[in-house]
Amino acid sequence: MLKVERLRKSFGGVAAIDDVSLDFQPGTLSAVIGPNGAGKTTFFNLISGALRPDSGRILLDGEDIAGDSPSAIVRRGIGRAFQVASFFPSLTVEDSLMGALLAHRGQAAAVRSRFPPAETRPRAREVMAMLGLDAKADTLSRNLSHGDQKLLDIALALVLQPRVLLLDEPTAGMGPEERWQMIDKVYRLWERETMTLVFIEHDMDIVFKISQSVRVLCYGKVLAEGTPADIRANPAVIEAYLGTASQEAVA
């Protein structure tokens, strides 16, 4: 499904991603972890087209998409939600989702129409119900709570029916209870949609509870990959990251 081979990206001579090769099988739920500056968000930026790799390949169903534009990558079936939610602040939740669908179809001018194409509404409402946003359909996006803005950001990616969904710290900025509510929605979404879902997360309790596999980046390189049990017991990961992360998680 999604595979990266010998991916490299440097900034000012410093390698942010250095010879990274990873394989994400169809329908799997995977976490990418590592200390700050490990290259996690750069990795997502390369896959989603926000950055062009210096070298290496990004394969989706065997086709190299490295260097394609973000819109082309979305059309190929990769969606992404960001650490800082990205949405249409002056539109309602429902109109935002319909607008995303229209823009995806090259009909962005119809977003402000009094009578947008009716066929976009059922998909928007389906996704709102899926993420518990249906009661907020008529709420302006800018007036949503932080947690609901994060859900809307996920919904904007999901409404386009991606085969691969990248979530960059979906629980960032949330309290303990809200974090678990969010991750429960993410997990149920993955179960329902049977998509390939890859997420970046610093909360190790969440990572070890829901992930099927974990990939650890450190200084732009793959330090380790395996099941949660493998990663939890890996001496190199404990030394480089988990010792500190575990203390932070219980603090």
**pLDDT tens-digit series, residues 198-248:** 999 999 999 999 999 999 999 999 999 999 999 999 999 999 888 754 434
Q: How many other β-carbons are positioned within 10 Å of the β-carbon of residue 233?
A: 12
Give the total number of structural domains in the chain.
2
Residues 139 and 197 both lie in one domain: no
Q: Which domain holds residue 186?
A: 1-77+162-251
Same domain? 179 vs 115 = no
C-beta separation of 103 from 51 below 8 A: no
- pLDDT for res 93: 94
Three-state DSSP class for 125?
helix
Same domain for 185 and 249, yes or no, is: yes
Say what the pLDDT of residue 82 is: 78
Residues 192 and 72 in one domain: yes
Give yes or no: residues 209 and 191 share one domain: yes
CATH number at residue 23: 3.40.50.300
Q: Which of 141, 160, 179 is the last residue of a domain?
A: 160
Do 57 and 131 share a domain, yes or no? no
pLDDT category of residue 250 using cuts at 50, 70 and 90? very low
Rounded distance between C-alpha atoms, residue 217 and residue 51, angstroms: 18
Percent of the chain with pLDDT over 90: 71
Q: How confident is the model at residue 172 (pLDDT cuts 50, 70, 90)?
A: confident
Q: Do 32 and 137 fall into the same domain? A: no
CB 34 within 8 A of CB 223: yes
Flag whether 39 is in a domain: yes
Average pLDDT over residues 38-43: 95
Same domain, 150 and 231: no
In a domain, 194, yes or no: yes
Q: What is the DSSP string of 143-184?
A: GS-HHHHHHHHHHHHHTT--SEEEEE-TTTT--HHHHHHHHH
